[in-house]
Amino acid sequence: MNARGFNSPKRVAYAGVRLLGFFGVWIAAFTWLPGLPVGAALIAWIVCITPKVRGVSEEFQNIDAPPVPPSP
């Protein structure tokens, strides 16, 4: 990954497949397993991943960029 995102369309496609697999596994879990434990696991995962996502977001927000000259 570079500053603007993924380097190649191949990596974007691979990320899409992984995302579909992720959602597919959660749908299968809710379908075949008891809902309460699966829901609790999903909530625990969201609580665990949220600070990490915010940290990555802050890293991207703190990139120094050259000042933009004012328009005439």
pTM: 0.55
Structure-token match 């500053």, residue found: 3
pLDDT band at 2 (very low <50, low <70, confident <90, very high): low
* Crossing angle between the packed helical segments 35-61 and 9-32, to the nearest 10 degrees: 150
| pLDDT tens for each residue of 13-61 | 888 898 899 899 989 998 998 989 988 998 999 999 988 888 877 777 6
